[in-house]
Amino acid sequence: MSAEEIPTILIAYPQAFSCYGKFERKISSILPNFNQFYVAYMTDDNNFISKHLSSDQRVNDALTSSIDEEHLDNVTHAIIFNDGETFNCLIENTKKSGIKSRIIDTKITKVVNVNKGEIHDIYWERVGLG
């Protein structure tokens, strides 16, 4: 398989997303379809991508470094954990570019301290429901 035929998979998740279990389940259910692939990402704030894929023998050349959402030239597939805010432009750009995408809805709960009016972003999910 030549380098041009090996897919590049963009993985994106919001910084406030802190449920590694859901990330791992979703990635594990999607990636078995690929024999070899490159990985692209914009950020890996919670180290989910490196933690999950660092020992995966199908990933070529270790983990590919970060890219920005305007330059998706080499990306062939995308897995985007969508909180409804962070990746709206990225989702639109992948659609315009014809990139095969899997959009996973990811709820980020905003908790407000009523006494102080402070907003805190926290992710809560029950195991097995996401």
Decide if 8 contacts 39 (C-beta within 8 A). Answer: yes
Residue 3 has pLDDT above 80, yes or no: no
Residue 29 has pLDDT above 60, yes or no: yes
The pair of three-digit structure tokens given for residue 121, joined into one six-digit string: 């972003």
Residue 114 confidence (pLDDT): 60
Residue with tokens 């989910």: 48
Residue 51 has pLDDT above 70, yes or no: yes
The most confident of the ranges 2-11, 24-33, 121-130 is 24-33
Average pLDDT over residues 92-96: 93
Residue 62 confidence (pLDDT): 53
Decide if 122 contacts 109 (C-beta within 8 A). Answer: yes
pLDDT digits (tens, 9 = 90+) for 99-126: 999 999 998 877 666 666 565 555 455 5
Residue 119 confidence (pLDDT): 57
Residue 2 confidence (pLDDT): 54
Assess if CATH 3.40.50 describes domain 8-105: yes
Residue 74 confidence (pLDDT): 86
Rounded Cα gap, residues 118 and 130, in angstroms: 27
Residues constituting the chain: 130
Rounded Cα gap, residues 42 and 32, in angstroms: 22
The pair of three-digit structure tokens given for residue 22, joined into one six-digit string: 């859901």
Q: Which long-range contacts does 56-59 make (Cβ < 8 Å, 24+ apart)?
A: 56/31, 58/31, 58/34
The pair of three-digit structure tokens given for residue 56, joined into one six-digit string: 């995966």
